[in-house]
Amino acid sequence: MRVQQAIEAKLAGQLQPQHLQVVNESSSHNVPPGSESHFKVTVVTDQFNGKTLLARHRLINQILAEELKSQIHALAMHTYTAAEWREKHGNAPLSPPCLGGGKA
């Protein structure tokens, strides 16, 4: 499993997000082509309700502990509750996380 797919699967499975976006930003850094070492995650979940920003980041770090040990060099995190996301981005519907699959 590729690193990006592992990140998506772990965060989706443990946080049940209303919105999850994982972006591989490695190509913007001095790494070989095709690298998966620098990521940005945007997560919207009710599991962040009542948690500080630090607690949210610690939770993500805990979920991705194995990847952070050996595969991820940099991880930018943008963490929101559903209410915070609506306040920042309006009432546009959130896209569900991709569950994979292909075209028929």
pLDDT along the chain (104 residues), means of 10: 88 95 77 72 96 97 93 90 89 63 55
Domain of 44? 3-89
Q: Is residue 97 part of a domain?
A: no
Q: What pLDDT score does 100 carry?
A: 64
Residue 31's nearest CA partner among 72, 68, 61 is 72
Q: What pLDDT score does 28 carry?
A: 67
Strand ranges, E, within 28-73: 38-44
Domain count, the chain: 1
Q: Is residue 68 part of a domain?
A: yes
Q: What pLDDT score does 34 carry?
A: 62
Q: Is residue 100 part of a domain?
A: no
Q: What pLDDT score does 38 carry?
A: 80
What global pTM score does this model have?
A: 0.79
Alpha-carbon gap, residue 57 to 79, rounded angstroms? 8
Report pLDDT digits (tens) over 35-55.
677 889 999 999 999 999 999
User: Domain containing 17 — which CATH number?
Assistant: 3.30.300.90
DSSP-derived letter for residue 51 is -
Q: Is residue 103 part of a domain?
A: no
Q: Is residue 96 part of a domain?
A: no
Q: What pLDDT score does 104 carry?
A: 47
Q: What pLDDT score does 31 carry?
A: 65
CA distance from start to end of the chain: 22
Burial class of residue 30 (count of CB atoms within 10 Å of its CB; 0-12, 13-18, 19+)? exposed
